[in-house]
């Protein structure tokens, strides 16, 4: 299955593994900062594509003892990442699961972390994706969403377009993204503003996008 505005798995994998490292560093750094304060548990990467991020996480000593689940609606994406997992001997640490961000195949309160990058903009019901993330988190668990802003600064967008072009990947579809204010409105509409902050750095790679950080209260 090929979702709207997505390239086939082999092309996406080439792009993700060759051009996205600066963004991976930012995302992985945030995950490890958050995970340091949590007991090792299960972490799902929602819309994981060819599983590049879970592979990076599994190699990080701070995240030793965690179990990673790469979840995607598109099985061909997951299968594209499987050889890398097997080659690195990570089959016991990283599980692959076909599933929908809007109907997560996990019990309530069952995961310690749920993360998702560059996927929110693909989802037809963004509000539901946030309430689903919240539902599956254990009390005390953390959800982290990074995505690109539609209201991104033109110079940053140009830089991103060049990064993509350097590996023969087409420009992003900026019109399908949400703005920082729309992301904040979504969180309020989802009823999660009591435990969620939405931020966007003013400079660096992170300024391309926003972060939604959900901390499920211990007494939820």
Ligand X SMILES: C[S@@+](CC[C@H](N)C(=O)[O-])C[C@H]1O[C@@H](n2cnc3c(N)ncnc32)[C@H](O)[C@@H]1O
Q: Can you give the binding site for ligand X, defined by CB under 6 A?
A: 3, 6, 16, 20, 46-49, 72-74, 77, 100-102, 117-119, 122-123
Shorter beta-carbon distance to ligand X: residue 21 or 193? 21
Tell me which residue has its CB nearest to ligand X: 47
Q: How far is the CB of 218 from ligand X (least distance, A)?
A: 28
Assigned token pair, 72:
């995607």
Q: Alpha carbon of 207 to those of 23, 27, 159, 169, 203: distances in Å? A: 11, 12, 12, 21, 5
**127, burial (CB in 10 Å: exposed 0-12, middle 13-18, buried 19+):** middle
Selection from 156, 157, 152, 204 nearest residue 183 by Cα: 152
Q: Is the dihedral of CA 184, 186, 188, 194 positive or negative?
A: negative
Tokens standing for 115?
A: 């993360």
Nearest approach, Cβ of 217 to ligand X (angstroms)? Answer: 26
Among residues 80 and 219, whose Cβ is nearest to ligand X?
80
Closer residue to ligand X (CB): 16 or 214: 16
| Distance in Å, CB of 103 to ligand X, minimum | 8
Q: What is the nearest approach in angstroms of ligand X to the Cβ of residue 20?
A: 6
Nearer Cβ to ligand X (39/125) = 125
């Amino acid at each position: 299955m090929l979702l709207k505005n997505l390239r086939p798995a082999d092309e996406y994998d080439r792009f993700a593994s060759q051009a996205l490292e600066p963004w991976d560093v930012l995302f992985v750094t945030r995950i490890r900062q958050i995970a340091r304060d949590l007991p090792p548990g299960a972490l799902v990467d929602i819309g994981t594509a060819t599983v590049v991020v879970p592979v990076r996480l599994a190699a990080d000593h701070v995240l030793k003892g965690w179990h990673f689940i790469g979840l995607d609606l598109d099985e061909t994406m997951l299968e594209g990442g499987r050889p890398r997992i097997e080659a690195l001997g990570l089959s016991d640490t990283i599980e692959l699961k076909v599933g929908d961000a809007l109907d997560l195949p996990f019990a309530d309160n069952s995961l310690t972390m749920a993360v998702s990058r560059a996927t929110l903009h693909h989802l037809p019901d963004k509000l539901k994706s946030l309430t689903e993330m919240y539902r599956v988190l254990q009390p005390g668990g953390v959800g982290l969403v990074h995505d690109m802003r539609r209201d991104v600064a033109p110079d940053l967008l140009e830089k991103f377009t060049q990064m993509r072009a350097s590996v023969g990947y087409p420009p992003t579809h900026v019109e399908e993204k949400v703005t920082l204010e729309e992301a904040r409105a979504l969180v309020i509409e989802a009823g999660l503003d009591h435990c969620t902050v939405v931020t966007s750095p003013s400079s660096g790679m992170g300024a391309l996008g926003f972060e939604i950080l959900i901390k499920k209260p211990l007494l939820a």
